[in-house]
């Protein structure tokens, strides 16, 4: 699982809301609608020749609550993320625009599962370059008690196109979890791989200084599923900036390479449950290094998400994402 790439050389920058109008325009911009200012404000102010809203059924909007216009994709049937994204591509037929134009996707409003499949599918259809945006909030509306997933949670499963070719030997299995605020999700995932060695990736530095403490206060509630004692320890804890997908991918790479040098990992499971920026880091690592290996991305199935979980807008990040050739 070692291709020599250094993810930290990928380009990223941040800017303010006031800077949005002065940015060079994109040919196509795709965002997932919810009630958050950090989603709707960016959509309204970003320069783009074509803007498309993708409305996820997990937000449970009524027809009269979603944006109007031709460039809105909405199907209120609750389906897995791969089916929904494939329906979107079938309806809007944007592959050539993504390949030949200057394209951008806003990660902020999408679910983690949709982010994972979206980028994995981009690689599948031959997209080599795309910009991604993620907007930091000033705070979460109820601090560490903010509810992100509010519907039924089903057992974790492999994300389509991220299913590994797994070994029957499970003697050195690893599960790496990007641990965010939602301790119930952490518990679900950790409990699904009881025999695997469990590693957590925490967002540090966090989006805001107070958020790291909030994160730990919530994540520690999953300590029994993770392993009980030594919840945060050098042996089982990694850190990567909460808003940097490229450092996240590099941290994963370096850790996994070190483990494999000592003893080959029999099966590896990746579960990004933190910010969408870190989720992007997980899927980038998977795309560049893990396809056709005994590695899977697994996530719980969530039937409903909160439409608004944050207050305010801090930094708006743009990441220049490169994907490998087929």
pLDDT averages per 10-residue partition of the chain, 326 residues: 82 94 93 96 96 96 93 91 97 97 97 98 97 95 82 92 96 97 93 95 92 90 79 83 98 97 98 97 98 97 91 96 92
pLDDT number for residue 76: 87
Residues 177, 154, single domain; the answer is: yes
Confirm whether 2 is domain-assigned: no
Residues 199, 90, single domain; the answer is: no
117 neighbors 160 (Cβ within 8 angstroms): yes
pLDDT number for residue 319: 98
Q: In the chain, how many domains are there?
A: 2
Domain that holds residue 128: 7-141+310-322
Confirm whether 196 is domain-assigned: yes
Question: Helix, strand, coil % (nearest 5) of the chain?
Answer: 35, 25, 40
Confirm whether 1 is domain-assigned: no
pLDDT number for residue 230: 60
Q: Return the CATH number at 102.
A: 3.40.50
178 neighbors 274 (Cβ within 8 angstroms): yes
The structure tokens 């850790």 sit at 255
Transcribe 100-144 into DSSP letters: HS-EEEE-TTS-HHHHHHHHHHHHHTT--EEEEEEE--SEETTGG
Residues 62, 175, single domain; the answer is: no
SS3 category, 122: helix
Residues 286, 147, single domain; the answer is: yes
Confirm whether 66 is domain-assigned: yes
pLDDT number for residue 229: 60
Residues 137, 147, single domain; the answer is: no
Pair of tokens at residue 284: 């980038």
DSSP letter at 63? Answer: G
pLDDT number for residue 148: 84
């Amino acid at each position: 699982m070692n291709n020599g790439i250094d993810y930290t050389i990928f380009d990223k920058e941040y800017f303010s809301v006031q800077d949005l109008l002065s940015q060079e325009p994109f040919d196509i911009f795709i965002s997932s609608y919810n009630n958050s200012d950090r989603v709707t404000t960016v959509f309204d102010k970003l320069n783009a020749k074509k803007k498309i809203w993708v409305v996820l059924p997990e937000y449970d909007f009524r027809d009269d609550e979603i944006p109007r216009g031709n460039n809105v994709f909405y199907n209120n049937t609750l389906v897995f993320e791969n089916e929904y994204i494939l329906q979107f591509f079938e309806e809007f037929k944007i592959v050539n625009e993504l390949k030949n134009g200057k394209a951008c996707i806003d990660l902020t409003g999408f679910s983690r599962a949709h982010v994972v499949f979206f980028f994995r599918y981009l690689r599948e259809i031959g997209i080599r370059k795309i910009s991604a945006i993620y907007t930091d909030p000033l705070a979460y509306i109820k601090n560490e008690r903010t509810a992100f997933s509010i519907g039924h949670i089903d057992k974790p499963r492999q994300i389509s196109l991220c299913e590994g070719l797994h070994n029957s030997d499970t003697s050195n299995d690893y599960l790496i979890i990007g641990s965010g605020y939602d301790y119930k999700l952490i518990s679900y995932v950790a409990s699904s791989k009881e025999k695997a060695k469990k590693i957590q990736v925490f967002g540090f530095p966090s989006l805001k200084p107070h958020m790291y403490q909030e994160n730990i206060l919530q994540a520690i509630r999953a300590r029994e599923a993770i392993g009980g004692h030594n919840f945060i320890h050098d042996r089982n804890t990694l850190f990567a900036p909460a808003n940097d997908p490229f450092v996240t991918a590099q941290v994963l790479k370096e850790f996994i390479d070190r483990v494999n040098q000592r003893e080959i990992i029999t099966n590896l499971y990746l579960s990004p449950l933190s910010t969408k920026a870190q989720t992007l880091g997980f899927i980038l690592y998977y795309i560049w290094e893990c396809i056709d290996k005994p590695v899977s991305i697994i996530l719980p199935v969530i039937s409903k998400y909160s439409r608004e979980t944050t207050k305010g807008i801090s930094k708006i990040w743009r990441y220049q994402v490169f994907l490998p050739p087929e």
